[in-house]
Structure 1
Amino acid sequence: MGSTVTYVFQRNASAREQLFVSQQQLRADRMAVYSDFAGALTEFRRGQQDRWHRRDEDPDGSTYPAARTEAHRLRGVALHALFRVQLIAGARPLIEIAQEAYALTSDLHKAADKTELSAYGARAREVLERFVELASVDVQ
């Protein structure tokens, strides 16, 4: 009888330990994915703004095509990071705000003037900050 009770307690303790370890791993994975997304989107926003400025300065110059190419590369990096968020996020609102932040950043280069570019950039940054706030709750 004593060995059966000991076995049951050990099995329960082992199950709790396995659950704790998997929860900690998921938390660490989410932190990495969310952080990577925020970093990728920040770089993408910078690339989009650079693209806009190079086009505004000289659309036929040699710097604009390079800036456009770099912005496209950064878009791919950000999209990959968004996919990772979609795969690991624990809440649908978190995915939706990540998608909104990506979409706003994608449209930055379409601004008509510097004022609009600044407004678009600020809006994209605000939405990304909301993403980070929601993500911090998801990793608690």
Structure 2
Amino acid sequence: MDGTLSTLIAVLGTLLGATLTYLFQRSETRSSRQFAAQQQLRSERMAVYSDFAGAVTEFRRGQHDRWHRKHEDPAGQAAFEARVEAYRLRGVALHALFRVELIASGPTLVEAAHHAYDLTSGVHKAADKTELSARGEQAREALQQFVRLAASEIH
């Protein structure tokens, strides 16, 4: 009888140990998957947000170039080419904005991205160099605000 009881206790102990090991490993696997998914999302957000910042920066440069070429010779080929390039850069920036909308965690960051895009879109409408500088600076500051918000979301 003592031998049977010892065997039964050993079997129950083994089963309990195996069950606890299984539950622990399942929990660890779930935690590892969640961590990997969070890291992947963080990496994707970093790429999308930095692509947006780069696209808007290039768009702003294109808007400045468009303004300068237009004021040098409104009917010239350089003005036409600068306008076409500004349209292309606008499309790139708009595409990057859509990506931000798809991946951002909340409306505050999306609103900041829209604000930076909208201010950049109006840079070429400046009446003179002083206004051009002011509009460009406002667009740059709006983009910096977006970057600050994006950085806080990523970290």
With the length of structure 2 as denominator, give the TM-score of the two structures. Answer: 0.89
Q: Does 1:41 align with 2:56?
A: yes
Q: 8 Å contact 1:36–1:81 — kept in the other structure?
A: yes
**Which residue, out of 115, 120, 142, partners 1:105?**
120
Distance 1:33 1:82 in 2: 9
Match of 1:60 in 2: 75
**Which residue, out of 53, 69, 76, partners 2:84?**
69
Q: Percent identity?
A: 63
Look up the equivalent residue of 1:109 and give its one-letter code.
H
Distance 2:137 2:39 in 1: 34
Q: How big is the shift at 1:131?
A: 0.4
Distance 1:73 1:61 in 2: 19
Provide the aligned length of Structure 1 versus Structure 2.
Answer: 140
Q: How big is the shift at 1:92?
A: 1.1
Look up the equivalent residue of 1:5 and give its one-letter code.
L
Task: Map 1:15-34 to 2 at 5 A.
Answer: 15-34=30-49
Distance 1:62 1:14 in 2: 62
**Which residue, out of 131, 135, 139, partners 2:150?**
135
CA RMSD of aligned residues (A): 0.5
Q: Does 1:92 align with 2:124?
A: no
Q: How big is the shift at 1:90?
A: 1.2
Match of 2:7 in 1: none
1:85-110 deviation digits (Å, cap 9, x = unpaired): 00001121110010000000001111
Distance 2:122 2:20 in 1: 63
Q: Does 1:118 align with 2:130?
A: no
- Give the unaligned 5+ runs of structure 2: 1-15
Distance 1:108 1:75 in 2: 12
Q: 8 Å contact 1:91–1:138 — kept in the other structure?
A: no
